[in-house]
Structure 1
Amino acid sequence: MYRVVKISMLLLSAGFSSYAQQIKVSGKVTDTLQNPLAYANILAIPKNDNEDVKFAITEENGSYKLGLSKNQTYNLTVSFLGFTPHTQVLTTTEEDLIQNFTLQENLNQLDEVTINYTPPIVVKKDTITYDVSKFVTGEERKLRDALKKLPGVEVDRAGNVTVQGKKVTKVLVENKTFFTGDSKLAVNNIPADAVDKVEILDNYNEVAMLKGLQDSEDMAMNIKLKEDKKKFTFGDVEVGAAIKERYLIHPNLFYYSPKTNVNFIGDLNNQGIKSFSFSDYLEFEGGFGKLLNDAGSYFDLFNSDFAQYLNNQDYTANINQFGALNIRQSITNVTDISGYIISSNSKTDTESATVNEYLNTNDPYFETRNTANNFNNFFTIGKVTLDYDPSFENDFAYNSFIKVTNNDSQGLISTINPILDNTIATLTDIKAVNLKQNVTYSRKLSKDHTLTLEATYNFQNDKPLTEWLTNQKILQGLIPLEDDDLYTILQTKRSRAHTVNAITKDYWVLNNFNHIYTSVGVNAAFNNFYNTDEQLLSDGTSNNFNSAGFGNDVAYQFVNTFVGLEYKFQIGIATFKPMLYTHFYSWNTKQFDERFSNTKALLLPQFTTKIEFNTSKKINFKYSLNARFPGIDQLANNFILSNFNSVYRGNTTLENQLYHTVNLSYYKFSLFKNLNLNLNTSFNKKVAQFKSVTQLRGIEQFNTLIMFDQPEHNWNISGQISKKINKIRYKFRGNFRYNDFYQILNDDTNLNISKSILSTISAETFFKNYPNIEIGYTKDFNNYRSFSSTNDFENDNFFVNVQYDFLNDFIFKADYAFDSYHNKSNNAKNTFDTANASLFYQLEDSPWGFEINGTNLFNTTFKQQNSFNNFLISDSKTFILPRIIMFKVAYKL
């Protein structure tokens, strides 16, 4: 750790030493009548290649601040739309400068002859345009490499893009959505040399007439291609091979023309690279931000079998086959049709070793569980979109989405505990089809009224089969097993759901400061769920568990009709929007001959406030009272097997959860100070909820649900501050979580409390001619307090990332991470480290590139982590792929 501290101190001292070499240039930009020019651009381009381009934007009163290096010479350009740009040479000294500018109106601005200057950056109120050629050196391979060199733009290792501290949520190419709009596909695959300009569009809305009406915090990035790339085929193909039959094939092919776009991305490898993750899946389902508005939909997605596969990131073996094709065709000037198809087929082996501590007794009760799985996962996702925009006053879009999955697995679970020593084999086969149709229509009825209509139909059909095989009886007293040499238990499920959602909304603009929005909508669901659990006997007969209360055949109908009223008004820099939604719920359940029906009306208020001091400093506040109704599996009131050691039963009488949510966020970005600050806090209070009641015997459990009215709380505080001082950016991230919840276990009700604190400090360099290093340290504390014990965990993580472009044609990359894990409750300690490195070579004018790449260089065998729930604390080792050294050849079209 001494070396870590020493390196960190060197970076800190280097950065602040550099900061001491800065001066402030400030002043005002006005026209010839001394009227201030807001959002004028000031560009300072250094003559020294080792210095960075600096820029500033004027405030409402025309003032600006610019931080420049001492004793340097800059070409300073001041520009504003409709005015002649002013350019001068500025040489700094040891002192701060005051420099005012007066711009002359350009009376011939429409004459093409006079347009002979293109500034590197143009900033309007909601739009920043970068001329990429002014910042790149020609060594950049992908769009991500070019974006990193643009002032105010950051790209993380996964490909997420932030601009002036705000995350880009959608990517366009030539004003058209690129694939799904997810930034990672774009920045990791679009060649850098095809990009001419990058536009950043804040408060983005796909329907132009709704900008300023709908509250949008989205930020879009629009990629403008070079003229010779607007009707051109480009891309690259990467092929790699290694010992032990390791391989990689990764083609990226793109064709663009004014009317036709075709993109193909493929991937075939067996080195553990997953081309489609759970976060990508969320983008297809509407994005994390939109799903947060419907917590039920998010958790349903997160807990689905498909999502559980996507969440797996560590393997002992993996074969991945992935292909994505996107086509967009302009039929007329106002009509576009587009579609994509993404298909993935993977074979994955996973292995883990877990020590479980059960909290149902005063004395510790431990289980050692080893799990090995072999997964075969196939899915295809397709979408077709029709956009019809005949005018600014009309916008129509139709979307058709289909997802087909077919997953099967074989697993082996070995459990050793004081009561049982057993091995269970598991077989699963999951087939599912999801079809979604969506129509949106927006129309400007008059100057003051705008109408939107959205309707969605969704069909889901799941058919999972699960089989457990063991030579010992399991769940005795819970399932009626007959004696046999080998116990084979088969579970069959069928789940079918039809949902229809429709909402129409009127936006009434009283004036610039007062809006009234009214909405009427309906959500309807018609679901069926069937399952049977049975024992397959060696003589060919079956022992059906229905006689013991197992098996479900449920029909569920749910209708929610609602009316909403929103009043949006502005006072000074603050915008307020109180909202009130009246919901009328009706639902009924049929299980065999039993029927249950109910109706309910709820008033659900919401309130938002936005205080915008300027474009770079904002406060947002949101409050909502939320209701969530149960899913059909939670209403099925017969027994069902959940796992080899658990049985579950729903509850037909469940009504709805009710919880308060409060969010407060603060955002600040300063160009002059190179400072970005984000603070967020959220608080949730459950006042009525579904609570799991557990009967636990050894490792075997029986769970059911009840309505529970004791309040539970969840509080989260997170923040990030980053500051760039000359060539070094310093960053600190912190997160605190507090959660109290009741545990109903073996007829006892107890309050449990969990707390966690996570903080990361890092420093990253941005040199042009020297190696760039990111170094950081993360400390993670977790405390879990139950009725019988208190458990503490700590994790220390140190990481280093290096990139060095040298000798014009070489790029070296490496990353290293060291983890120290400590379970303080049982004094268990473990350390592990991982490292990866690559060396890439490509002559400047050659289409051929060569790379040697190494992953898991220290041949680490596992990663370790902990988790906990109402009655269980788990310490897990997850085994990972061994060291792989691969040689790659790339060809750029």
Structure 2
Amino acid sequence: MLIKHLVLILVMSISVALQAQTITLQGKVSDSLQQPLQYANILAVPVADNIDVTFAITNQEGNYKLQLEKNQNYTVTTSYLGFLPNVEDVNLDKDTSNNIILKENLDQLDEVTITYTPPMVVKKDTIVYLTDKFVTGEERKLKDVLKKLPGVDVDRSGNVTVNGTKVTKVLVENKTFFTGDSKLAVNNIPADAVNKVEVLDNYNDVAMLKGLQDSDDMALNIKLKEDKKKFMFGDIEAGAGIKDRYVVHPSIFYYSPKTNVNVIGDLNNTGVKSFTIKDYLEFEGGIGKLLSDAGNYFKLYRSDFAQFLDNQDYKSTANQFGAFNIRQSINQVTDLSAYAIVNNEKNTTASNTINTYQNIDQPFTEQRFANNALDNFFSIGKVTLEYKPTIKEDLNINTVIKVTNNKGLGVINTINPSQDNTISTTNNVTGLNLKQNFSYSRKLSKNHTATLQSIYTFKNDQPITNWLTNQQILQGLIPLQMDANYNIQQTKTVKTNSVNTILKDYWVLNNFNHLYTSLGVNAAFNSFNTQDLQQLSDGTINNFETAGFNNQLHYNLMDTYLGLEYKFQIGIATFKPAAYLHFYNWQANQLSHGISNSKTVLLPQFTSNIEFSNSEKIDFKYKLNATFPTVNRIANNFVLNNFNSVFKGDANLSNTLYHTASVSYRRFSLFRGLNYSLITTYNKRIKSIKNTIQLQGIEQFSTPVMFDQPEQALSVSGRFSKNIKKLKLKFNSRWSYNDYYQIVNLNTSLNSSKNFYNTISLETNFKNHPNIEVGYKHATSNYKSRGNLTQFLNTSFFTNLEYDFLNDFIFKADYSLDTFNNKTTNNTNQFDMANASLFYQTEDSPWGFEVSASNMFDVKFRQTNNFSNFLIQDSKTFVLPRIIMFKVIYKL
């Protein structure tokens, strides 16, 4: 019934949009020589106060289109830099064409008074939105403002895309906001403080390097209203709910010409995470690191710290988060900024997983129940000094420190053909990470610009793990002594000192030819120490060292390289072939054994860009990559990975080699309300490090080997959106194919996986009617190995409703119906989630009130699935129960 009602609302909204009494005024804007004027502004200002201002921007052919109310009086102003504005009064009762010719302004020094500022201005790399022209006044946060800007999308997590490109940095008044990540900004900056939003494509922190360094960054620069530029503003939110639920969320900002202070806090036990695994990966470099250095990206993702952050669903949770940011202008050329982020979480999780072991001689199924209690603490701080004495010189020095202390207590119950067992696990992960960054850029002459960047990193991670069970585990792999209970302990210490330095010269031969040279050194000094032992009930210690356990490894890697890049332009196309010559030297010393090796590797690169217009371009990138194994993979002695896994490294491992290539096409048209993109990526591993696995029941022993068989991965993804009056249609699709070898129980097999993901949605954009979004997701996964095919089908119907009514009320609701189907086993599960809130605040009052409900149907768990080398997993993860909250908000 709920779905039927929501669909009915959508149909009614579509009917309103399509039957609205509007007419179309369209035509072409050109100069006196009949040359089209791209990005001319056409502004239609109604005489009546209750009708919205309408605007348009011409496309590259000079065409424009305005949607006007029928039989209403408008003043239509057409303006373009360097030309006299054209002003016409219109009142139309049917669709009309009107071509406009602008005359050149021969006396541009005269003062020109413009009564109305265009709501949107498009330049080559910049889009400027005047937000007052798009909002209705009921918006609470920056996220609500951005959703109403043409070409801008904001997802529920706070990630922002503009014309299909992801925003990678957020600035406020030209200064980086906290870490620059969009989530803190869009979810906390009050909507009524925003005057303009600037979108800066190909953004570079150092202005003199724009056009020299290739940048895929897109930045949002938030311009504040004049009364907020030397003022304290923000809001404080506090709430309570049934079953002892609470939330306290202050967001306070102070801005002045010389001093900026931002304070954000969050205390809640409602399941809202202020800092997630995605935030951490973005903080460390994000998806850009995945594309340029996949090894380091996955190393981050699989780190002990990241694994504690990865949990998203809880049986219970308590979150304490605080963030402080200050920026002080010491003088006109020097800025000092600092931020600190502190987070503490206490969570409990529970899951029920069915593991299907296949690709072995005797396939079997394991049922595993897991319960965990987690206590995660971390703090991140950064201090930055920026010195820009002239436009030809830029110095940036910053220090980042991260401290972690994560504790976990888990109980795993496994039921399998070999053994039914219960294992208790405790974890205590402490870590210190220090990073010192020095960056200096200087314009040496008209044709030469030089940069020097040096980064020093120190890491010290010390995870301590304890496994407790009353049955023997890993028999034949660890030397357990008989005891009533088996208490197995592991202490691990991983230390890294690294220095990365690069000196680069940018030589501009002429406007169409550049030559860049680089000299760099990457040096890493690692130590890896492990100790595995058994503590018996009488207090004696059974050290596993005599069985080949315990590691004391020192691993040093020196990478010295020379790089040459040639960048040239032919018409609308830019090309940049490059080559980097690397001289690798590495040494590994394990106890009394040591090895030393060296290698020279030439790594070519190639990028090209074809820019048909400011709104249409094609990019191509190719790179040959080389990575070296992490320190744990070359440790010669055994180490416990888990209660059912033992790992042994190999000091003779060398580097991997793999090709990466991508082609992307993007186009958007403000004239047609159209935005689409297509991205294809291809990876081919020609030399990789692969684990060989000996599997006995659920227990496994693995060790890495160099593998020369080629493996490949291909993905194609596309985005499409189209505005139709007050409707917006969106379609996202992604297809991926991956083939790879696995070595299990001495059998080598070629596996393949195919994934196909589609999302289609339709949403409305009214000012005086309910706004609703309805969508459908469809995802299929196919995994094939040794003739066995596993198929999953996941579908989801979702809808979001937002209604501003009676001037002072805002109602929001969202609903999703998810269906999980394991087509191989014919197992189907279905669950639905719903949330709703009602917010009230009068325009002249600082007080606001909200009643909200989450997980309204009191769903107990979520269903997920995944597969690995030999394992198919169907998991149920238990979630928080229904939560009903009452909140009070005070706006400063």
How much has 1:131 moved relative to structure 2? 2.0
Which residue identity does 2:258 align to in structure 1?
K
Change (3 A) 1:686 1:20: farther
Which residue identity does 1:330 align to in structure 2?
S
2:251 counterpart residue number: 252
SS at match of 1:484: coil
What is the CA–CA distance in structure 2 between the aligned matches of 1:510 and 1:767, rounded to whole Å? 53
How much has 1:117 moved relative to structure 2? 4.5
What is the CA–CA distance in structure 2 between the aligned matches of 1:213 and 1:197, rounded to whole Å? 28
- Do structure 1's residue 653 and structure 2's residue 691 form an aligned pair? no
2:265 counterpart residue number: 266
- Aligned residue pairs total 889
Change (3 A) 1:134 1:485: same
Which residue identity does 1:207 align to in structure 2?
V
Change (3 A) 1:14 1:576: farther
1:143 counterpart residue number: 142
TM alignment of 1:740-889, pairs within 5 A: 740-889=739-888
What is the CA–CA distance in structure 1 between the aligned matches of 2:44 and 2:443, rounded to whole Å? 43
Which residue identity does 2:693 align to in structure 1?
T
What is the CA–CA distance in structure 2 between the aligned matches of 1:187 and 1:77, rounded to whole Å? 33
2:77 counterpart residue number: 77
Range with greater deviation from structure 2 (742-751 or 102-111)? 102-111
2:555 counterpart residue number: 556
| Alignment gaps of 5+ in structure 2 | none
Change (3 A) 1:52 1:766: farther
How much has 1:12 moved relative to structure 2? 10
- Do structure 1's residue 727 and structure 2's residue 726 form an aligned pair? yes
How much has 1:609 moved relative to structure 2? 1.1
Conservation of the 8 A alpha-carbon contact between 2:21 and 2:70: no
Conservation of the 8 A alpha-carbon contact between 2:341 and 2:380: yes
Change (3 A) 1:24 1:743: farther
2:475 counterpart residue number: 476
Which residue identity does 2:832 align to in structure 1?
D
What is the CA–CA distance in structure 1 between the aligned matches of 2:875 and 2:471, rounded to whole Å? 25
2:426 counterpart residue number: 427
What is the CA–CA distance in structure 1 between the aligned matches of 2:289 and 2:63, rounded to whole Å? 36
Which residue identity does 1:887 align to in structure 2?
F
2:231 counterpart residue number: 232
How much has 1:410 moved relative to structure 2? 0.4
How much has 1:80 moved relative to structure 2? 2.6
What is the CA–CA distance in structure 1 between the aligned matches of 2:282 and 2:168, rounded to whole Å? 9
Conservation of the 8 A alpha-carbon contact between 2:37 and 2:58: no
Task: State the Cα deviation string for residues 515-564 of structure 1 (Å, max 9, x = none).
Answer: 11111101000000000100001111100001011110000010001111
Change (3 A) 1:72 1:204: farther
Conservation of the 8 A alpha-carbon contact between 2:23 and 2:92: no
What is the CA–CA distance in structure 2 between the aligned matches of 1:44 and 1:178, rounded to whole Å? 35
1:26 counterpart residue number: 27
Change (3 A) 1:650 1:847: same
SS at match of 2:608: strand
Conservation of the 8 A alpha-carbon contact between 1:8 and 1:763: no
How much has 1:43 moved relative to structure 2? 2.9
Conservation of the 8 A alpha-carbon contact between 1:50 and 1:768: no
How much has 1:661 moved relative to structure 2? 0.7
What is the CA–CA distance in structure 2 between the aligned matches of 1:270 and 1:237, rounded to whole Å? 17
How much has 1:51 moved relative to structure 2? 6.0
Which residue identity does 2:778 align to in structure 1?
K
Conservation of the 8 A alpha-carbon contact between 1:83 and 1:104: yes
Range with greater deviation from structure 2 (194-203 or 459-468)? 194-203
How much has 1:423 moved relative to structure 2? 0.1
Conservation of the 8 A alpha-carbon contact between 1:54 and 1:151: no
How much has 1:414 moved relative to structure 2? 0.1
How much has 1:21 moved relative to structure 2? 6.7
How much has 1:76 moved relative to structure 2? 2.4
Change (3 A) 1:652 1:90: farther
- Do structure 1's residue 374 and structure 2's residue 367 form an aligned pair? no
- Do structure 1's residue 415 and structure 2's residue 414 form an aligned pair? yes
Change (3 A) 1:19 1:748: farther
How much has 1:379 moved relative to structure 2? 0.2
Change (3 A) 1:596 1:75: farther
How much has 1:826 moved relative to structure 2? 1.3
How much has 1:645 moved relative to structure 2? 0.4
SS at match of 1:590: strand
1:293 counterpart residue number: 292
The two structures have a TM-score, normalised by structure 1, of 0.96
1:97 counterpart residue number: 97
How much has 1:262 moved relative to structure 2? 0.5
- Do structure 1's residue 319 and structure 2's residue 304 form an aligned pair? no
Which residue identity does 1:845 align to in structure 2?
D
SS at match of 1:882: coil
Task: State the Cα deviation string for residues 647-689 of structure 1 (Å, max 9, x = none).
Answer: 0011111101111111011101011111110111111111000
How much has 1:202 moved relative to structure 2? 1.7
Task: State the Cα deviation string for residues 59-105 of structure 1 (Å, max 9, x = none).
Answer: 3x7x2332535746543222233444333233445445131231452
TM alignment of 1:447-526, pairs within 5 A: 447-526=446-525
Range with greater deviation from structure 2 (39-48 or 744-753)? 39-48
Which residue identity does 2:30 align to in structure 1?
V
- Provide the identity percentage: 58
2:889 counterpart residue number: 890
Which residue identity does 1:773 align to in structure 2?
I
Change (3 A) 1:719 1:180: same
SS at match of 1:262: strand
- Do structure 1's residue 576 and structure 2's residue 568 form an aligned pair? no
What is the CA–CA distance in structure 2 between the aligned matches of 1:462 and 1:19, rounded to whole Å? 63
1:681 counterpart residue number: 680
How much has 1:168 moved relative to structure 2? 1.9
Let me know the Cα RMSD of the aligned residues.
2.1
SS at match of 1:805: strand
1:55 counterpart residue number: 56
2:133 counterpart residue number: 134
Range with greater deviation from structure 2 (425-434 or 131-140)? 131-140
Conservation of the 8 A alpha-carbon contact between 1:18 and 1:726: no
SS at match of 2:184: helix
What is the CA–CA distance in structure 2 between the aligned matches of 1:58 and 1:201, rounded to whole Å? 19
What is the CA–CA distance in structure 1 between the aligned matches of 2:155 and 2:190, rounded to whole Å? 18
Which residue identity does 2:151 align to in structure 1?
G
What is the CA–CA distance in structure 1 between the aligned matches of 2:203 and 2:89, rounded to whole Å? 37
What is the CA–CA distance in structure 2 between the aligned matches of 1:84 and 1:891, rounded to whole Å? 48
1:358 counterpart residue number: 357
Which residue identity does 1:350 align to in structure 2?
T
What is the CA–CA distance in structure 2 between the aligned matches of 1:41 and 1:191, rounded to whole Å? 29
Change (3 A) 1:588 1:766: same
1:738 counterpart residue number: 737
SS at match of 2:881: coil
SS at match of 1:620: strand
How much has 1:11 moved relative to structure 2? 7.8
| Alignment gaps of 5+ in structure 1 | none
Change (3 A) 1:46 1:799: farther
1:168 counterpart residue number: 167
Conservation of the 8 A alpha-carbon contact between 2:626 and 2:658: yes
Change (3 A) 1:81 1:885: same
What is the CA–CA distance in structure 1 between the aligned matches of 2:343 and 2:225, rounded to whole Å? 32
What is the CA–CA distance in structure 1 between the aligned matches of 2:454 and 2:20, rounded to whole Å? 55
Conservation of the 8 A alpha-carbon contact between 1:314 and 1:880: yes
What is the CA–CA distance in structure 2 between the aligned matches of 1:155 and 1:9, rounded to whole Å? 21
How much has 1:343 moved relative to structure 2? 0.1
Range with greater deviation from structure 2 (800-809 or 153-162)? 153-162
Range with greater deviation from structure 2 (354-363 or 66-75)? 66-75
2:609 counterpart residue number: 610
1:43 counterpart residue number: 43
Which residue identity does 1:676 align to in structure 2?
N
What is the CA–CA distance in structure 2 between the aligned matches of 1:638 and 1:11, rounded to whole Å? 68
Which residue identity does 1:463 align to in structure 2?
Q
Conservation of the 8 A alpha-carbon contact between 2:522 and 2:558: yes
Which residue identity does 2:800 align to in structure 1?
N
Which residue identity does 2:575 align to in structure 1?
F
Which residue identity does 1:593 align to in structure 2?
S
Conservation of the 8 A alpha-carbon contact between 2:441 and 2:450: yes
